[in-house]
């Protein structure tokens, strides 16, 4: 007869609704790892060139359209598009219209 083992770990769940967040250009949703940020861009607004060393990034366009540049590559993104990339890459962008994105930045284990 096999003995059943009972798991005793507890997983904490955090929940946020993006629609309830204040309207801001950049608004943190979750600040721990992985850090999650909602970014609202006006038409023509730019995201200056930058990087996030030591992280993996998920970039999800909720609505709108924009051009995202990763190093020398260009991506035309619209609502529903999701990219995953290494934070070592240089990222920049420009909104073609009012655009909302959610960015998840996960620190890599050492």
Residue 59 pLDDT > 60 = yes
Reported in sequence order, the residue ranges of the chain that DSSP labels E, i.e. its strands, are 26-30, 35-41, 46-50, 55-63, 65-70, 73-78, 82-86, 91-95, 99-107
On whether the CB atoms of residues 98 and 41 are closer than 8 A, the answer is yes
**What's residue 33's pLDDT?**
79
- The band of 10, judged by pLDDT with boundaries at 50, 70 and 90, is very low
pLDDT attached to residue 94: 98
pTM, two decimal places: 0.74
pLDDT of residue 35: 87
pLDDT in tens, 83-105: 999 999 999 999 999 999 999 99
Ordered domains of the chain (ranges, CATH)? 22-107 (2.60.120.10)
What is the per-residue pLDDT for 26? 61
Q: How many CB atoms lie within 10 A of CB 30?
A: 13
């Amino acid at each position: 007869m096999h003995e059943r083992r009972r798991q005793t770990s507890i997983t904490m769940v955090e929940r946020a609704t993006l629609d309830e967040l204040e309207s801001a250009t950049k608004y943190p949703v979750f600040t721990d790892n992985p850090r999650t940020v909602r970014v609202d861009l006006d038409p023509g607004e730019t995201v200056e060139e930058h990087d996030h060393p030591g992280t993996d990034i998920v970039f999800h366009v909720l609505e709108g359209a924009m051009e995202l540049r990763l190093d020398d590559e260009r991506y035309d993104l619209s609502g529903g598009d999701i990219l995953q990339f290494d934070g070592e890459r240089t990222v920049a962008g420009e909104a073609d219209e009012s655009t909302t994105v959610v960015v998840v930045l996960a620190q890599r284990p050492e």
